[in-house]
């Protein structure tokens, strides 16, 4: 009997223990608080370093850095947060770079000298470096370093494709200075056009711009209409590539217009990239003008576009901060691993024109072709440009018609054709026509035109 009671007691104790364990897991006693859940460990922020000059490009550097900080803030709640470190390339900058965390991805405005110092110090073998340059020394791209910038070839590809395929033009020329930048650009352009069966006629813009009209006269070969006394151009091409800065566009146009030629498509380079960022109220005057750009303000995120740095440089910093963080690189992987990571990461949505990488790690940027717009640069409309050219062609044809004395005015009003594009004075000889094409103000129509040091802010652009 005692044995039975002992067994029963043990069974009851066991039942109570099991019940308490069950209740403790399924219900709380009155007033009891739930045990706090352990907080998820936040991922460590990757360091994104920007190497920038202390002097010579203050506005560019500020936009770049501000854009990068905005890009980093957009990564704050993601799996790949980033923190920005700015290092000025003077003084002990190489020591500072050497002390960066192993997961650092380096980018920046690297001049030839700065890049050479990074290379000789062995940094390229210790850190992942993306240069904001159009070109790297032979053999380096995709092996020692990478680019996060458009190349001359990107510009040429965008321009030649637009002129040949979108505008349907096969007679082209170039007009610009005989300098390193122009020669490098035109060498690539000739190669690209030749592959399309198109020959480029080169014309050097030599001497003072006031003499360019005389320089172009043998090319345009204007014929004076005996009945009306007006100039009828015989230009053998329909589009002209201009390898000069935006601020000389008026002088270029005046030179052609003084010979009666105002029907040409005028195609610029990314040297014009900042020319119309904030808009131009006289945009209709540039109906035949287009150029390649890495930034379109109306296609960028509002958080960037509506800032003081809502331009190409701000977008470059913004995109690089996000790109570098998403690479999720630790240390210095093999070159192929970096290339593979870059190829995968480049599928992200860009604020600027998208950048991609081939299997060798060579970067290319799919540039926009843009025109001047009242609210900023807009995508070039090839159909509208064709219509504008047709109107300009008809205006030239009307110059050859006898003037009806009962009509008030001329067949094509001086200074503006039917679509509002820049045009020469429709009637009169070349010396009389030239002054009429000058803008109403002596100041550049686009006040944000690049200054003379603009090329210096594009490291490697002319190399």
Residue 274 has pLDDT above 80, yes or no: no
Residue 353 has pLDDT above 70, yes or no: yes
**Rounded to the nearest 10 degrees, what angle do helices 312-327 and 335-345 cross at?**
120
Residue 429 has pLDDT above 60, yes or no: no
pLDDT of residue 228: 80
Question: Residues 455, 181: contact at Cβ < 8 Å?
Answer: yes
Extended strands (E) in 268-377: 289-293, 355-357, 363-365, 368-371
Q: What is the DSSP letter of 224?
A: E
Q: How far apart are CA 409 and CA 133, in angstroms?
A: 53
Residue 235 has pLDDT above 70, yes or no: yes
Band the pLDDT of 376: cuts 50, 70, 90: confident
Taking the CA atoms of 205, 207, 210 and 216 in sequence, report the sign of the dihedral they define.
negative
Q: How many residues does the chain have?
A: 463
pLDDT tens for each residue of 132-167: 999 999 999 999 999 999 999 999 999 999 999 999
**Rounded to the nearest 10 degrees, what angle do helices 58-74 and 312-327 cross at?**
40
pLDDT tens for each residue of 58-99: 999 999 999 999 999 999 999 999 999 999 999 999 999 999
CA distances from 39 to 25, 79, 82 (A): 21, 15, 21
**Rounded to the nearest 10 degrees, what angle do helices 249-257 and 212-220 cross at?**
50
pLDDT of residue 150: 97
Question: Residues 392, 399: contact at Cβ < 8 Å?
Answer: no
Percent of the chain whose pLDDT exceeds 70: 77
Q: Of 34-48, 121-135, 248-262, 315-329, where does mean pLDDT reach its minimum?
A: 34-48
Residue 32 has pLDDT above 80, yes or no: no
Q: Of 275-284, 300-309, 411-420, where does mean pLDDT reach its minimum?
A: 411-420
Please provide the average confidence, as pLDDT, over all residues in the chain: 83
Residue 117 has pLDDT above 80, yes or no: yes
pLDDT, mean of residues 360-375:
95
pLDDT tens for each residue of 290-343: 999 999 998 999 999 999 999 999 999 999 999 999 999 988 999 999 999 999
Residue 3 has pLDDT above 90, yes or no: no
- Between 121 and 405, whose confidence is greater? 121
pLDDT of residue 449: 30
Cα Rg of the chain (Å, integer): 32
143 alpha-carbon distance from chain centroid: 25
Q: Of 232-236, 291-295, 378-382, 418-422, where does mean pLDDT reach its minimum?
A: 418-422
Band the pLDDT of 402: cuts 50, 70, 90: low
Torsion of CA 423, 424, 427, 431, to 10 degrees: 180
Q: H/E element holding 302?
A: helix 302-305
Residues 6+ apart with CB under 8 A from 172: 163, 193, 198, 200, 201, 237, 238, 239, 240, 241
pLDDT, mean of residues 99-105:
93
Residue 147: strand pairing partners: 131
pLDDT of residue 440: 28
pLDDT of residue 226: 82
pLDDT, mean of residues 26-34:
53
Question: Residues 243, 439: contact at Cβ < 8 Å?
Answer: no
In degrees, rounded to 5, the angle at the alpha carbon of residue 63 between the alpha carbons of residues 276 and 149 is 80
Task: Report the DSSP pairing between strands 289-293 and 368-371.
Answer: antiparallel
Number of Cβ within 10 Å of residue 213's Cβ equals 20
Residue 23 has pLDDT above 90, yes or no: no
Which has the closest alpha carbon to 411: 396, 390, 393, 431?
396
Number of Cβ within 10 Å of residue 459's Cβ equals 24
Percent of the chain whose pLDDT exceeds 90: 67
- Between 459 and 181, whose confidence is greater? 181
pLDDT of residue 34: 61
Tokens 């945009």 appear where?
Answer: 283
pLDDT of residue 62: 97
CA distances from 173 to 11, 202, 223, 235, 238 (A): 102, 6, 20, 10, 8
Task: Report the DSSP pairing between strands 105-108 and 231-232.
Answer: unpaired
Residue 425 has pLDDT above 50, yes or no: no
Residue 12 has pLDDT above 90, yes or no: no
Band the pLDDT of 44: cuts 50, 70, 90: confident
Number of Cβ within 10 Å of residue 23's Cβ equals 11
Band the pLDDT of 458: cuts 50, 70, 90: very low
Question: Residues 368, 294: contact at Cβ < 8 Å?
Answer: yes
């Amino acid at each position: 009997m005692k044995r039975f009671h002992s067994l029963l007691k043990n069974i009851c104790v066991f039942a109570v223990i099991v019940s308490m364990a069950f209740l403790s897991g399924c219900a709380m006693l009155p007033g009891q608080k739930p045990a706090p859940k352990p907080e998820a460990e936040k991922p460590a922020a990757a360091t994104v370093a920007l190497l920038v000059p202390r002097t010579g490009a203050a506005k560019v550097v500020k936009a770049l850095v501000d854009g990068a900080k905005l890009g980093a803030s957009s990564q704050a709640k993601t799996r790949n947060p980033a923190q920005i470190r700015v290092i000025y390339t003077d003084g002990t900058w190489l020591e500072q770079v050497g002390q960066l965390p192993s997961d650092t991805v380096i980018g920046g405005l690297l001049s030839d000298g700065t890049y050479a110092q990074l290379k000789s110090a062995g940094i390229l073998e210790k850190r992942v470096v993306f240069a904001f340059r159009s070109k790297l020394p032979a053999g380096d791209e995709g092996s020692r370093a990478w680019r996060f910038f458009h190349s001359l070839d990107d510009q040429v590809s965008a321009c030649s494709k637009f002129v040949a395929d979108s505008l349907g033009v096969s007679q082209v020329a170039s007009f610009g200075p005989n300098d390193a930048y122009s020669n490098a650009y035109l060498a690539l352009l000739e190669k690209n056009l030749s592959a399309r069966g198109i020959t480029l006629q080169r014309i050097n813009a030599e001497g003072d711009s006031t003499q360019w009209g005389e320089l172009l006269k043998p090319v345009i070969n204007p014929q004076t209409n005996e009945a009306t006394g007006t100039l009828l151009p015989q230009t053998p091409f329909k589009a002209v590539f201009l390898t000069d800065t935006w601020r000389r566009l008026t002088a270029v146009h005046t030179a052609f217009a003084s010979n009666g030629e105002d029907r040409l498509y005028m195609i610029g380079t990314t040297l014009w990239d900042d020319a119309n960022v904030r808009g131009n109220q006289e945009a209709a005057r540039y109906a035949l003008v287009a150029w390649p750009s890495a930034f379109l303000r109306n296609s960028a995120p509002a958080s960037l576009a509506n800032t003081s740095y809502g331009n190409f440089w701000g977008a470059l910093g913004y995109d690089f901060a996000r790109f570098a963080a998403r690479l999720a690189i630790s240390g210095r992987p093999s070159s192929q691993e970096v290339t593979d990571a870059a190829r995968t990461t480049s599928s992200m949505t860009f604020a600027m024109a998208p950048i991609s990488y081939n299997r060798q790690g060579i970067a290319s940027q799919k540039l926009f072709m843009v025109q001047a717009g009242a609210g900023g640069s807009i995508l070039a409309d090839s159909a509208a440009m064709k219509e504008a050219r047709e109107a300009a062609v008809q205006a030239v044809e009307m110059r050859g018609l006898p003037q009806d004395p009962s009509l008030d005015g001329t067949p094509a009003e001086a200074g503006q054709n039917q679509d509002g594009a820049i045009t020469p004075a429709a009637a009169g000889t070349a010396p009389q026509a030239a002054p009429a094409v000058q803008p109403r103000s002596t100041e550049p129509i686009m006040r944000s035109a690049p200054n003379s040091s603009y090329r210096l802010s594009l490291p490697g652009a002319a190399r």
